[in-house]
Amino acid sequence: MGLISLLWGIVAMLWMIVALFPLLGWGNWFLIPFAAIGAIIAAIGIALTSPQNRGRAKTGLLLNGIVIVVGVFRLVLGGGII
């Protein structure tokens, strides 16, 4: 679970970088639910693994959380959320 959430977070982060370009901000509407699913996978990974092996899951949760915050901020800034 930890590796899946980490890879999910990396993909979400790359997608977030693309969605920061002008005229591609609509990608944030798809990016936020995508990152939320990655955060859920990371939370499951944290809950099911031993404390010594939670590093990847925690990193995946952090990456997905950053993507969600930046995506929401970008939508608010661009007027996408009314």
CA atoms 44, 50, 54, 58: torsion sign: positive
More confident residue, 43 or 23: 43
Give start and end residues of each alpha helix (H) in 1-82. Answer: 2-19, 28-48, 55-78
Contact (CB, 8 A) for 64 and 79: no
More confident residue, 77 or 7: 7
pLDDT digits (tens, 9 = 90+) for 47-82: 999 999 999 999 999 999 999 999 999 988 877 765
At 58, list the tokens. Answer: 């925690």
What's the whole-model pTM score? 0.89
Give the range among 21-25, 32-36, 78-82 with minimum mean pLDDT: 78-82
d(CA 77, CA 73): 6
